[in-house]
Amino acid sequence: MNRKVFPSNASPPASGFTLVELLLAIMIVSIALVLTFPALSGGRIQATKVKCLNNLRQLQTACSQYAGENNGRFPSGDRQFILPHEFGNFSNTLGLYLSVPREKIMFCPGDLIKVRNASTPLYQSNYTTYQYFNFGPPFLGTFSTNKPDMSRMATIPSDVPLWGCLAATKGGITYGHSEPAVKRSLSGMNVVYPDGHGGWVDEKSLEVYYLQDGLSLYWPKPAPRP
């Protein structure tokens, strides 16, 4: 049998991928990415919700600390335009009990921050992307004729949220945690209650509680009150 003998000073022929093998490898990697992307995206969304809820819980804790030093009264939002997502006196109230800057704690980290953040006019000093439900004008919704007193720790019902993500619609445009000024319905919102517990509330459990000039603001449907 004849054998092919390479000279001692020669290298064997280089081996490599064929075009078919290379295309097959690319196809396998592409399929793996397609299968992995939803899981990665879902993980990012969940992590953002957790970060958002952590912000709200810190705000709730600061409210409780403020009330503890002010005869049980929660801070006011110093609202120039009388809207639930206003809080103009952060530095004199909640800021006294938080080590986090206003631009980091008063803005939901969801997709809404792309279009509404601390560099947006009026959001620099007054508006936020969280709603503070302790405010004066009448609520429209479940509590249209019997709104509870939310200004004091002793009178706010345990099932009524004190803080939540901005969740609003106007002119067919939706603003919310995952809705950065888009034409689709709300997906839901994070809320936190007087005792500090909270979580994500699906859009099916939300209602309009405040209306002004075509702007509809949402919160979780409370239990009917006598």
Distances (CA, A) of 6 to 3, 16, 39, 60, 180: 10, 20, 52, 80, 68
Instruction: Summarize pLDDT for 98-137 with one digit per residue, the tens.
Output: 999 999 999 999 999 999 999 999 999 999 999 999 987 7
Task: Report whether pLDDT(11) > 90.
Answer: no
Task: Report whether pLDDT(10) > 90.
Answer: no
Tell me what percent of the residues of the chain surpass a pLDDT of 90. Answer: 63
Q: pLDDT value at position 6? A: 45
Instruction: Summarize pLDDT for 143-168 with one digit per residue, the tens.
Output: 766 778 899 999 898 889 999 999 99
56 touches 163 (CB < 8 A): yes
Return the domain boundaries, the chain: 19-220
**Mean pLDDT score of the chain:** 87
Task: Report whether pLDDT(7) > 60.
Answer: no
Q: pLDDT value at position 134? A: 92
Between residues 104 and 38, the one the model is more confident about: 104
Q: pLDDT value at position 35? A: 67
Q: Looking at the chain, which runs of residues are DSSP E strands? A: 130-132, 163-165, 168-170, 173-176, 179-182, 188-192, 198-202, 206-212, 215-220
Instruction: Summarize pLDDT for 48-60 with one digit per residue, the tens.
Output: 999 999 999 999 9
Amino acid at 118: A
User: In this structure, is the dihedral angle defined by the CA atoms of residues 113, 207, 201 and 205, taken in order, positive or negative?
Assistant: negative
Instruction: Summarize pLDDT for 75-93 with one digit per residue, the tens.
Output: 988 888 889 999 999 999 9
- Tokens 């403020």 sit on residue: 66
Nearest to 78 by CA among 97, 95, 101, 64: 95
CA gap 188, 136 in Å, rounded:
25
Tell me what percent of the residues of the chain surpass a pLDDT of 70. Answer: 85
Q: pLDDT value at position 41? A: 56
Task: Report whether pLDDT(9) > 70.
Answer: no
pTM metric for this prediction: 0.80
Task: Report whether pLDDT(22) > 90.
Answer: no
Ramachandran sector of residue 199 (left: φ over 0; alpha: ψ -120 to 50; beta: rest):
left
